[in-house]
Amino acid sequence: MVKAIKLSGIVIVLTLLLITLTACNGTPTPASTHSFKPASVSLDVPLSAVLLHDIDLASDSDAITVHITGGTIALDNDGRSIGEIGIATTYSYPAPDDYRHILYAFDFSPAGATFSPGIQVTLKYDPAAIPSDIRESQLVIAFYDLVSGEWQYINGAVNLYSHTITFTANHFTTFTIQTPPVIPPAPEPIETWVIVVPVVAAVLIILCISLFLYSRYKKHSHQVSDEDLYPPEDEDEEF
């Protein structure tokens, strides 16, 4: 009987391992999270309240270019003329919306400055930074609205040859290059039979083995041999 209990315990352990492995194989691994660090770039330029002619600015390697048309009114947050503008990469920004990735982020200063009409900004990106399941043409520009507490998205013009995205900015804030939502695939449901069949089979195996060993035990404990009933007579001793 002790052997039957031990063997049943081993079968139960093996069954639980089988169920665990089966459940794990039915659940896909989550998609990986991408994190990218852009190269540091910056530029500064003095501006008056009203530009008399067009201005084109460019950082090293043309990573950032800015075009301001003549006649643009440029004011800071207090309504005064802007002395200079600055654009630099940053790693400080709110978390993106669900399933979106921020590839690059740029601080445009002075924060809150306004432009009428808006200025044209072109940002360069590394195509290797784009997740494999996203098309390059799907990249967007986004900035975080402090008033509403939400991300606002701008449809920039993506150039697939120069790997740049161009958009119009009518105010200064932190602008980011983001991907559209990258929704991970839903876990595949585990079929009921995958769990039920091994459990039922294990129960049947345990029951059969237990009955077999128990019957052997009962037969052995109640069987009385002829030798037990009729012990051999002592042979006559020879004198």
Task: Show the domain range for 3.
Answer: 1-28+192-198+215-221
Q: pLDDT in tens for each of the 239 residues of the chain?
A: 444 444 444 444 444 444 444 444 443 333 333 333 444 455 566 777 888 889 888 887 778 899 999 999 999 999 888 878 888 889 999 999 989 999 999 999 899 999 999 999 999 999 999 998 899 999 999 999 989 999 999 989 999 999 999 999 999 999 999 999 987 776 767 666 667 667 777 777 887 777 767 676 666 665 545 555 555 555 555 54
- Same structural domain for residues 96 and 142? yes
Same domain for 49 and 23: no
Mark whether 22 and 66 lie in a shared domain: no
183 SS3 class: coil
Q: Do both 70 and 110 map to the same domain?
A: yes
Residue 39 lies in a domain: no
In angstroms, rounded to a whole number, what is the distance separating the alpha carbons of residues 111 and 78?
11
Instruction: Identify the pLDDT of residue 206.
Output: 82
Helices in the chain by DSSP H: which ranges?
Answer: 2-25, 192-222, 226-229
Q: How far apart, in whole angstroms, are the C-alpha atoms of residue 192 and residue 58?
A: 62
Residues 91 and 129 in one domain: yes
Q: Are 19 and 64 found together in one domain?
A: no
pLDDT at 83: 79
CA distances from residue 173 to 16, 82, 90, 93, 98 in whole angstroms, order as listed: 56, 15, 12, 11, 22
Q: Within this chain, do residues 146 and 115 fall inside the same structural domain, yes or no?
A: yes
User: Does residue 239 belong to any structural domain of this protein?
Assistant: no
Q: Are residues 48 and 135 in the same domain?
A: yes
Q: Is 17 in the same domain as 125?
A: no
- Give the chain's domain count: 2
CATH number at residue 57: 2.60.220.30
Q: In 10 A of CB 190, how many CB atoms?
A: 13
Question: Is 148 in the same domain as 94?
Answer: yes
84 plus 19 within the same structural domain: no
Instruction: Give the span between the Cα atoms of 22 and 44, in whole angstroms.
Output: 60
